[in-house]
Amino acid sequence: MNAFSRKKITKVGLGLVASGALVFSLAACSMDSNSGSTESTTSASASAEPSAEATPVASLPDLSNGVDTQVTVDQSFVDALTSLGLTPAPVGTGTFDGATGTFAFPITGGNVDYYDPSSDVRPYVQGELDHDGSG
């Protein structure tokens, strides 16, 4: 029997795609602390800048007392990684609960402004969550 069956190739291929997606998504959540830049960035849509008249309904200027951001991945994703001999694990102070498939990254700072959803401001939730030391 051929060691490279269609089923095995498909399984390995899907596992590689899944692990690549995890690596990419976790890399997008982390920052290089050695970059020397103190400038922060916020991602949003092209019309993210609120107009001069727009006033947030609620504003949280300091999120350093936040708990964590949790991301739950599908069990089939965890199974695909495991089938490849990989163990999903965050870096730094992040955690992973294998029973629930949940990554948790401690919030170390940031801010959030919430605008009235019926206003023209999009996205109506804007801000930044910092997760220094984890990813």
Q: What is the pLDDT of residues 38-93, one digit of tens each?
A: 444 444 444 556 666 789 999 999 999 989 999 999 989 888 988 999 988 889 99
- Using DSSP, state whether 20 is helix, strand or coil: helix
Res 113 pLDDT > 80: yes
Does residue 41 sit within a domain?
no
Mean pLDDT within 98-109: 92
Whole-angstrom Cα distance, residue 37 to residue 132?
14
Residue 36 belongs to a domain: no
Q: Give the pLDDT score at 87.
A: 86
Inside any domain, residue 91: yes
Distance CA 22, CA 30 (A): 12
pLDDT at 5 exceeding the cut of 60 = yes
Cα–Cα nearest to 81, from 2, 1, 26, 5: 26
How high is the pLDDT of residue 78? 87
Query: Considering the domain boundaries, does residue 44 fall inside one?
Result: no
123 part of a folded domain: yes
State how far the Cα of 114 lies from the Cα of 123, in Å rounded to an integer.
Answer: 9
pLDDT in tens, 15-38: 655 655 555 555 555 444 444 444
pLDDT at 45 (0 to 100): 44
Assess if residue 55 is contained within a domain: yes
Any domain includes 87: yes
φ/ψ (deg, to 5) at 96: -135, 125
How many domains are there within the chain?
A: 1
Residue 38 within any structural domain of the chain: no
Q: Which domain holds residue 90?
A: 6-31+51-130
